[in-house]
């Protein structure tokens, strides 16, 4: 019943996890950082560049699972600096329409590859 979701349009897993796992109509999206899938290097530039790359990566995994970002019902956002919270909100508004997903934003000490943002989510699909 459990289905592993994988796409080459998002970064390959860099550990013992899947990009996403579907169970019934629910898809659990692993955390995405701002890796560029083709190079597996972090997107360079300011935080906004990395936030856009994270949404691009999440979107690719959502599509591989048969959905879109709009199907995300819960998101967790991890930031190494909460000063970027407003920027996350501004950019998130470019990718989501109401009703917005439930969400948490948490400050953390460190993230993989020493990046400054990671996001994960849970997607609910209307069909099985």
Model confidence at 128: pLDDT above 90? no
Given this structure, which CATH class describes domain 2-124? Answer: alpha beta
Domain boundaries, the chain: 2-124
DSSP string for residues in the chain: -EEEE--TTSPPPSSSS-SEEEETTEEEEEEE-SEETTTTEEPPSSHHHHHHHHHHHHHHHHHHTT--GGGEEEEEEEES-GGGHHHHHHHHHHH--SSPPEEEEEE-S--GGG-SEEEEEEEE-S--
User: How many angstroms separate the CA atoms of 33 and 7, rounded?
Assistant: 15
Model confidence at 88: pLDDT above 80? yes
Model confidence at 127: pLDDT above 70? no
Average pLDDT over residues 96-100: 96
Q: How confident is the model at residue 123 (pLDDT cuts 50, 70, 90)?
A: very high
């Amino acid at each position: 019943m459990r289905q592993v979701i994988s796409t080459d349009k998002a970064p390959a897993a860099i550990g013992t996890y899947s990009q996403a796992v579907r169970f019934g109509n629910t898809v659990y999206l692993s955390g995405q950082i701002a890796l560029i899938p083709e190079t597996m290097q972090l997107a360079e530039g300011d935080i906004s560049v990395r936030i856009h790359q994270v949404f691009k990566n999440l979107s690719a995994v959502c599509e591989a699972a048969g959905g879109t970002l709009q199907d995300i019902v819960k998101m967790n956002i991890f930031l190494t600096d909460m000063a970027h919270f407003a920027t996350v909100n501004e950019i998130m508004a470019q990718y989501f329409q109401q009703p917005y997903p439930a969400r948490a934003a948490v400050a953390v000490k460190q993230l993989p590859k020493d990046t400054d943002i990671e996001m994960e989510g849970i997607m609910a699909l209307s069909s099985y």
